[in-house]
Amino acid sequence: MTVGQKINWVRSQGSKIDLWPKGSAGVEAKYVIDDSILYLLIYGTDSRFDWILHFLPGWDAMAEILYGAVLSNQLAVKINECPKIRNVVIYGHSWGGAIAPIVEDCLRNTFKSLWIYTIGLGPKMPVVGTLLYRFIHRGDIVPYLTPWRVWFRKLVFKGFKIRIGRWKPFWKAHVLGAYIQELWNVIDFIEYH
């Protein structure tokens, strides 16, 4: 499967994790366990509640850290229930891409032998940690709408930044479906251990 096909597979077939507040507000994620690999897709902002967190200076970073810690705790339970898991692939769209490195860090502290790969879908820089890969659709400016963010001035990005797609207006370039479409034929480049 290609990168876009895997993301779409997790989105359509995955089991849902819905963090407080339940429903579209808060953080939603889906996961699939395939043999020794756990695939996780963390969704981006999709409610007024989420946008309020983004526009309150200081609260957005705190929310990312708290949601990342809670999500990693729920994943730790899944990993303990399925001890054959050796690899975790985390896809994070927009705000989910900022939460992904926090989940990774928490899981690394709990499971020392786990291989974890983080892939961001969007230009959003994490407050804590970094992403292995960050795909940025041309025209996606949504994360830059809150310019007081610390990540806005963060110049160091240790992963690979890859621009994809043709330029589109931000309201078309930012949606998860646009990322899946552009990554549909991109070969999965991660070698699992």
Q: Does residue 154 register a pLDDT over 60?
A: no
Residue 115 lies in a domain: yes
- Alpha-carbon distance 113 to 131, whole Å? 19
Give the chain's mean pLDDT. 86
Domain count, the chain: 1
Q: What is the pLDDT of residue 190?
A: 74
Residue 193 lies in a domain: no
At 77, the amino acid letter reads V
What is the bridge-based pairing of β-strands 133-137 and 87-93?
Answer: unpaired
Residue 131 lies in a domain: yes
Q: What is the pLDDT of residue 54?
A: 62
Residue 42 lies in a domain: yes
Q: Under 8 Å CB-to-CB from 31, ≥6 apart: which residues?
A: 10, 14, 15, 17, 38, 39, 40, 41, 75, 78
At 183, is the pLDDT very low, low, confident or very high (cuts 50, 70, 90)? very high
Residue for token digits 């407050």? Answer: 127
Whole-model pTM: value is 0.89
122 token code pair: 């969007």
At 131, the amino acid letter reads L
- Alpha-carbon distance 162 to 184, whole Å? 15
- Alpha-carbon distance 69 to 74, whole Å? 9
Q: Which range marks the domain in which residue 26 is found?
A: 3-183
Q: Looking at residues 44-61, what average pLDDT do you find?
A: 71
At 3, the amino acid letter reads V
Closest CA relative to residue 71, chosen from 88, 48, 49: 88
